[in-house]
Structure 1
Amino acid sequence: MLTFDQPARQLIAAKLKEFPRRPHDAAAAEGLKRAAVAIALLAADDSEGIAFALTRRVGKLRAHSGQWALPGGRCDAGETVVQAALREMDEEIGLKLDESDALGLLDDYPTRSGYLITPVVFWCKPGLTPHANPDEVAAIYRIPIADIAPIEKVSFTRIPESDRRVVRINILGQQIHAPTAALLYQFREVLAGRITRVADLEQPVFAWK
């Protein structure tokens, strides 16, 4: 098990640097709004291991209310994806980091709702504690990365509305869907040294709007 220390930070950064990231094709991305999410790595609650911050959105939001999500949102004009992920992470869960804390990027993921999401992996400074913005986040969970490592944690199903596979990842006894599931699935694969593409993995119909 990786522990939350400098050697682990260097190892994860090296794996992300080696990963042949695939940006979405410019022609295919036309008309999509740019967005970024943060995979924020921090100390696990009850061990020396590494966890990532996962949120449950409040039920009163106009879009994606009550859903599981990584901190993130739409890029403002002139922002890079790293800057957008930093801003959203601060606004949603109160983690104040800077660009030097970014370890790397994963593949872009196009959503059915018209966004092109870039996941940014961050290493949180020791001692930082996330705090939920009650206007956006109902709860924050520290999920040990070891919890998503087993092969059986990720599963696939089919829906009549699409010929693409729907990806799901089991966390806290819940089936979490794409886009969050797709991004975490690829992150897990990168940590394991596997190159796995996820842009063609489908979302459930309730996430299409």
Structure 2
Amino acid sequence: MRAFDDATRRNIAEACAAFARLPEMAEPSALKRAAVVLALTESSDRDDTAFLLTKRASSLRSHRGQWALPGGRCDAGETPVEAALRELDEELALKLSAADVLGTLDDYPTRSGYLITPVVVWAADSAAIRPNPDEVASVHRIALDTIERDEAFDFTAIPESARRVIRFHHQMSLIHAPTAALIYQFREVLAGRHTRVTDLEQPVFAWK
């Protein structure tokens, strides 16, 4: 159990600082830059620290109705951290600053042409969460002890790729990469393991 308190914030910030990210690409990439947020807040029962997971609105043009971390494409001249904070405000009305950022994880290249930077932030004022109905159908608090269980993730094969597909079991749903891969790496960082996830595959439906 990880209480939502200053000690947990310090511990997670230290784990993120100890994590050695993969180096940035030396050459310009054709992939479009994007960022997502692992926003840490109180769990529903207030006994644990949780991260926020959303269900995308059914009216969106792409990946409608899917589970996702808050985030989106970087605007011109915007850093991934700036994009992550902006998207968190636009989607959930959480206004955070660079002082709330605890760290970043490895960039994850998607089959659909994006390079996603996961940004870990401490969202102390969770009462301020107001989902934007144009983008978010619902928002859920996933307690950290949920993702620390061995049965939370599994790996499977598909005929279209030699890479393993990762899946995160949440309630009665299966959540796939990239979201599952990023959550899995965060779980590993919390445990002090420098586990890479760029080789973990997405299901074919997410390739477009």
Q: Same fold (TM over 0.5)?
A: yes
Q: Which runs of 5+ in 2 are unaligned?
A: none
What is the aligned-residue RMSD (CA, Å)?
Answer: 1.2
Q: Separation in 2 of the partners of 1:87 and 1:25?
A: 24
Q: Name the residue aligned to 1:164.
A: 163
**Any idea what the Cα deviations from partners look like across 1:80-103, whole Å, max 9, x if unmatched?**
111000000000111110110000
Distance 1:130 1:23, change over 3 A: farther
CA contact (8 A) 1:148 1:171 kept: no
Question: Sequence identity of aligned pairs in percent?
Answer: 60
Q: Which letter maps to 1:3?
A: A
CA distance in 1, matches of 2:46, 2:7: 17
Counterpart of 2:192? 193
Counterpart residue number, 1:21: 21
Distance 1:40 1:6 in 2: 15
Checking the alignment, whether the CA contact within 8 Å between 1:24 and 1:109 is kept in structure 2 is: no
Change (3 A) 1:197 1:127: closer
After TM superposition, give the deviation of residue 60 of structure 1 in Å: 1.8
Rounded to whole Å, the distance in 2 between the matches of 1:142 and 1:131 is 13
Number of residue-to-residue matches in the alignment: 208
Task: Look up the match of 1:12.
Answer: 12
Alignment of 1:29-178 (within 5 A): 30-178=29-177
TM-score (norm 2): 0.97
In structure 2, relative to structure 1, the CA distance for the partners of 1:158 and 1:24 (3 Å cut) is farther
TM-score when normalising by structure 1: 0.96
> Offset at 1:24?
4.8
CA–CA separation in structure 1 for the residues paired with 2:164 and 2:171: 22
Q: Is the 8 A contact 1:23 1:108 kept in 2?
A: no
- Structure 2 CA distance for partners of 1:129 and 1:144, relative to 1, 3 Å: farther
Deviates more, 1:143-152 or 1:123-132: 123-132
After superposition, the Cα gap between the structure-2 partners of 1:157 and 1:127, relative to the gap in structure 1 and judged at 3 Å, is closer
